[in-house]
Chains A and B, each alone.
Chain A
């Protein structure tokens, strides 16, 4: 076995071991925290996570249609019961009673602690008379009130006040006791999964349970964060699989056409495989786990590693050994790989762990692909062999006129034109709305918002956070804030708000209410006076007097008492521990006067609550992310220039190498914006890739090759590179996924432009493509 073969075997063994290690140890994470800036406070991160993955993120809205309302109402009740029994959900609501009879009876005992209408004057003679008059009128009404059975124990209807506060104002339309949409065509249910929103497998199982629980003759619809996440994953999987296979097949046939050797094509996949394994391994070792986005994006970007073996294969010829050929082109490949890696290195300095992970992946991948090309392939390649397709391509190249001043001028003019367009253009070119990157169509999202509004699901776009040292302190804070917010509601600034104290008042408030309850003797006296002229029996309300007496001794209800109850679940979604403190989440709905709200928030922020506007904050985060990225791209560019100057030791050649890539980026961005695309971080990183590839092209085109054969080989390699890259990324550009489409489109346009620009601008002056004999020399 020759030395080259031995090294090749060693490489293969190392690759196999690394692959095995990666398969065993690499974990893919999907939470968003790695894409949040390090500067964010721990609380902010936890709350963002809670909001993304907490109770609101676990809500699924179910719609039932396809039958007449009566049948839908019945099916809604059956479905709710089945879903309850399935164990996938902690709460299924369809408009039927909120609590079961036992829980309701238990809470009924606490009505004087919980009712917002209880205060010092509530049980005086005057108030009691008013209440009794109301009750008498209700007794005379032909439509009975549903709380009639409670009348003698609760003549002031405190439980009604408690229940209506819990229910909130936003109530969907009802039919036969269950919720319907505004048109009365679909029954609505709200289900909260047991599993967190990011546990996609569990979410998928829960969604399957819903589908299985509905009779086939009904049309069932689902929406909600979990549903969208699962749908997105399905679309991403389907798209990446379909496009990945297609791109792989196309690339395979391009390489096959280029070299007419299946063996070579398979060998050519080795650097690519090495790059992916090295990338995952490096990120896993440094960060513990790899983020899903980093993995997908990294593999896409690392695809260009196929260029390295292509250059090598194209340069193989019958006159020299593989080692000699490799020695000739290696410096160029090395310089290309290092410059591109430098570009990504600049990315790693950001505050975003996600970007750092990505840079690590790309650098480790690129360098190991280059190394694999240098050391891992030689042993497998045929000696004294040349690709047959080279002659045709080389002859075509020979016929191309050497680009004269006219061509060069035209190319530069195009670049200047693009620059002028970019500078004169109005409006932000950036896409900072994260929703625009989602594969879920906007119509589906609009439907979701519509259903949310009907069901009164709190809007996570405005969340106020009140913190306290313990749960009670947080509750008290949210009560104080609630008093202020009540005024905003009264002024019509917002339509409603939801806060934990709405479900459970603080112990302090409960105690205050308790203290306002009258002593039995006084209550009996006032009650007797109040009902003096009314037809009520003298002792009709004895149970009420007894209930007040019992309530005076009843200790307040705490969050712990509600553990495992329907009310406890509701409370849990708005009152939660954050590290060693507690946070009350107050959500605002129906903001009608944003200016007045901002004014209010500015004034009260000083009193110790923070305001989270998820939509605004993610926008800021995206913008921050992208700004960081843009700065880093510029740093990367500077690093690239430096490496080129050092590596080439010629400012002139460095300029010729760099110019095509830069022009291509200008043209690329101009074309993207002209076509109405908005740029995101994914475009930015794609542009970095374009520069990298452009430099590779520049490096090869600018080689001082006096030998016509050599030039033909170089050109052959470049043609195979550009064809495979353009077709692979062109295929990605057809994706339904905005991210994949953006990357594919940017790289396709940029690489095509790079190639043409490099062909025109990068070639060394004074070298004429004479009559070529590719196999000579």
Chain B
């Protein structure tokens, strides 16, 4: 995923990396405080991204399937609230989230609009992905318990649903990234099914 990061964003991210190295060198610093600080920094870095796009390969491991479903396509993001996901398969629908609206574009060109607030599960589901891309810590915390691990160059953010309605379907979403780039999204469903989406930047 290419990041259109503004110069001052870069400076901040670099400063954060330096700071993180320093902090990691400190042996007995309160772990939770350090993680909290890192989460804020990762989120801040993400929030500086104005737009991003990339190709993805998604593998769905479902218990009723003998082999994983492999889906390929492209995702794009524009700050603060636009996400589009489309599949290479011409018969597949495309999904666009803009503000509070989810638009499903059917293969025959028709569109179906849904308010993402129609159902709390839908809102939480959308925010897990969009909220992370936007670095919107406040929104993420409303729907998920967050746990960050790793370093700023290789972080893992685990989102565990807070809403029982959502927890019925979803156990956790694990985002992996480096700096201000998310490159792996793993979705763990309550049924035991899971899917892994790897996002590549066009150039890299």
Q: Which residues in A have some Cβ–Cβ distance to B below 8 Å? A: 69, 136-137, 139-144, 146, 148-149, 151-152, 173-177, 535-538, 540-541
Contact = CB atoms under 8 A, between A and B. Distances in A.
Interface in B69-110: 69, 71, 85, 87, 91-93, 95, 102, 104
Interface stretch (B1-9, B40-48, B58-66, B154-162): B58-66
Contacts of A143: 95, 102, 104, 122, 125
Contact of B66 (A144, A152, A175, A537): A537
B92 A139 contact: no
B118 A175 contact: yes
Given A139-B60, A143-B95, A535 B67 contact: yes
B117 interface: yes
5 contacts: A141-B95, A142-B85, A146-B121, A175-B115, A537-B63
A146 B120 CA distance: 12
A175 B62 CA distance: 31
A139 B118 contact: no
Nearest to B75: A142
B66 A538 contact: yes
Contacts of B115: 173-175
Given A535-B66, A540-B64, A177 B118 contact: yes
Nearest to B65: A535
Given A140-B92, A174-B119, A148 B169 contact: yes
Contacts of B121: 146
Given A149-B191, A152-B64, A140 B117 contact: no
Nearest to A141: B93
B169 A176 contact: no
A173 B92 CA distance: 27
Contacts of A69: 117
B contact face: mostly helix, strand, loop, or mixed: mixed
Interface centre among B64, B66, B95, B125 (most CB of A within 10 A): B64
Contacts of B71: 140
A144 B102 CA distance: 14
Contact of A537 (B64, B91, B102): B64
A399 B62 CA distance: 109
B123 interface: yes
A173 B64 CA distance: 35
Q: Which 9 A-B pairs have the closest CB atoms?
A: A540-B64, A174-B118, A535-B65, A175-B117, A537-B66, A176-B120, A177-B119, A535-B67, A177-B120
B105 to A, nearest CB: 12
A148 B64 contact: no
Nearest to A69: B117
Contacts of A139: 60, 62, 65, 69
Given A173-B115, A537-B64, A538-B66, A137 B95 contact: no
A107 B143 CA distance: 32
Nearest to B125: A143
Contacts of A540: 64-65
A176 B66 contact: no
A533 to B, nearest CB: 12
B102 A140 contact: no
Contacts of A141: 93, 95
B64 A151 contact: yes
B92 A536 contact: no
B192 to A, nearest CB: 12
A contact face: mostly helix, strand, loop, or mixed: loop
Interface residues of B, number: 30
Contacts of A537: 63-66
A546 to B, nearest CB: 15
A136 B67 CA distance: 13
Contacts of B123: 176
Contacts of B63: 537
Nearest to B119: A177
A151 B92 CA distance: 20
B54 to A, nearest CB: 15
A136 B71 CA distance: 12
A69 B120 CA distance: 13
Contacts of B120: 176-177
A545 to B, nearest CB: 14
B89 to A, nearest CB: 8
A166 B194 CA distance: 33
B64 A176 contact: no
Nearest to A535: B65
Contacts of A140: 60, 69, 71, 87, 92
Contacts of A175: 115, 117-118
B76 to A, nearest CB: 14
Nearest to B142: A70
B119 A176 contact: yes
Contact of B191 (A148, A173, A177, A535): A148
Interface string B188-202: 010100000000000
A141 B93 CA distance: 8
Contacts of A177: 118-120, 165
Contact of A142 (B64, B95, B165): B95
A157 to B, nearest CB: 15
Given A139-B62, A151-B64, A176-B117, 17 more contacts: A139-B60, A139-B65, A140-B71, A142-B95, A143-B102, A143-B122, A146-B121, A146-B169, A173-B118, A174-B118, A175-B115, A175-B117, A176-B120, A177-B118, A177-B120, A177-B165, A537-B66
Contact of B169 (A136, A144, A173, A541): A144
Given A140-B92, A144-B169, A148-B191, A536 B64 contact: yes
A175 B117 CA distance: 5
Interface in B173-204: 189, 191
A175 B119 CA distance: 6
A200 to B, nearest CB: 38
B130 to A, nearest CB: 12
A656 to B, nearest CB: 78
Contacts of B189: 144
A237 to B, nearest CB: 43
Contacts of B122: 143
Contacts of B117: 69, 174-176
Contacts of B91: 137
A758 to B, nearest CB: 72
A276 B119 CA distance: 61
A744 to B, nearest CB: 52
A139 B117 CA distance: 22
B69 A535 contact: yes
Interface centre among A151, A176, A536, A540 (most CB of B within 10 A): A176
A143 B87 CA distance: 14
A174 B93 CA distance: 23
B80 to A, nearest CB: 19
Nearest to A537: B66
Interface string B120-133: 11110100000000
A144 B191 CA distance: 12
Contacts of A152: 64
B46 to A, nearest CB: 20
Interface centre among A148, A149, A535 (most CB of B within 10 A): A535
Contacts of A536: 64-66
A146 B166 CA distance: 10
Contacts of B169: 144, 146, 148
A148 B125 CA distance: 15
Contacts of A149: 191
A701 B87 CA distance: 99
A69 B115 CA distance: 13
Interface centre among B117, B121, B122, B165 (most CB of A within 10 A): B117
A263 to B, nearest CB: 75
A148 B169 CA distance: 9
A152 B62 CA distance: 12
B77 to A, nearest CB: 14
Contacts of A148: 169, 191
Contacts of B95: 141-143
Contacts of A142: 85, 95
Given A148-B191, A535-B65, A536-B65, A137 B118 contact: no
